[in-house]
Amino acid sequence: MKKPKKLRVTFRKNRTKRTRVDDWTQRFEEHGFEEESEIAVERIGGKSELSRRRTVIGKWVVDSNEEHSFNILPAVNSETVLSGRVLCVHGASSMVQTEDGRIFQCVTRRILKTLSTEQRQPVVTGDCVLIRPAKGVTGEIREAMIERVEPRHGSISRASKHRKHVIVTNVDQILIVASADQPPFKPNLIDRLLLAAEQTGVKPIICINKIDLVNQAEFQPIIGVYAQMGYKVILLSAETGFGIERLRQQLADRESVVTGQSGVGKSSLLNMIDPALDLRVSDLGRTQKGQHTTTVAELYRLSFGGFVVDTPGLRQFMLWDMIPEEVFGLFRDLRPYENRCRFPDCTHSHEEDCAVKNAVAEGRLDLRRYESYLAIRYKN
């Protein structure tokens, strides 16, 4: 076994006072506008810029979801830690289930919380972690500390206030749930979630719930568009039980995440698939937009094998770490036309002799999907 190395890491800016000047009124009353600009000075103190780097014992690992992204694995004492899986995260506290079935309420090691990263939270639902149980604590809820977060795969992330919000990690497939009606069907949200799945290599499955509220024939064209691209589409009804058995087969012995707009019936579908879950559900409410009954992402073990993560409803989904030039290559239906355009750097929006625009005009490509591509590329 290799000896852990000493690494220099950067910590977050959470130990210095804000440099913004907030006494402009007093300065004006005393000096007027004599000083038009402030002289920039560098403050050097015990907790300033020069001391935000530390030496820790551990190793670097490459993030499998993002190229050129590295994570730090702090060294731990293998004799005092247990392996576990994060079931849910409530603020600074995480619920972790160990391999033997015990559940621990955990806090996160300070070094993991203060490392300078783009992530909003150091620990998320689905993480495989190493925990150190607290000594002398007895009772039903045991306490522990998360010492290390193991390398991730299959993460679903979005952008939140210019930071990376990892919704769930270590999953094999994502169930993108939409409703045929109440709330209205939103194919553009499906497209965004498909791009996130394509970016990280997670298998997407499109689930259209509440199909009993509409005429199924109305959805055949859009179902055909996704099916031609190789995406699996399942029609469901949590009210009548239509399609539930097919969905149960898709979840068996796999690690899945269920996501989609608020009010589409994600928790209701999971209750139909496995009544032992007994998840809380509610109606749409007056706004017909859902009421966020599920407030945190939580991992559940299915009685017929496998795991599933139920997530809060989405109102919007901003893609993380995706430049405009990458968007086109993640659209399965547009990608075959990439090398047929007149210009090698064609953006497929305004150029002449564009193979994509010609295919849309001739009906070989779906107009709505093309408009979705333009909206994501230029607005995200």
Q: For residue 194, name the pLDDT band (cuts at 50, 70, 90).
A: very high
Question: What secondary structure letter does DSSP report for 99?
Answer: T
What is the distance between the alpha carbons of residues 101 and 80, in angstroms, rounded to a whole number?
18
Each residue's pLDDT tens digit, 204-261:
999 999 999 999 888 899 999 999 999 999 999 998 999 999 999 999 999 999 999 9
Q: For residue 21, name the pLDDT band (cuts at 50, 70, 90).
A: low
Q: Does pLDDT of 201 surpass 50?
A: yes
What is the distance between the alpha carbons of residues 325 and 347, in angstroms, rounded to a whole number?
8
- Residue identified by tokens 């998360």 is 146
What is the distance between the alpha carbons of residues 122 and 109, in angstroms, rounded to a whole number?
10
Return the SS3 of 335: helix
User: So what's the pLDDT on residue 80?
Assistant: 87
CATH 3.40.50.300, applies to 169-310? yes
Return the SS3 of 124: coil
Q: What's the rounded mean pLDDT across residues 281-296?
A: 65
Contact 233, 243 (CB under 8 A): no
pTM equals 0.82
Q: Does pLDDT of 67 surpass 50?
A: no
Give me the residue spans of the domains in the chain: 169-310, 324-378
Q: What's the rounded mean pLDDT across residues 1-14?
A: 65
CATH superfamily of 324-378: Probable gtpase engc; domain 3 (1.10.40.50)
User: So what's the pLDDT on residue 31?
Assistant: 62
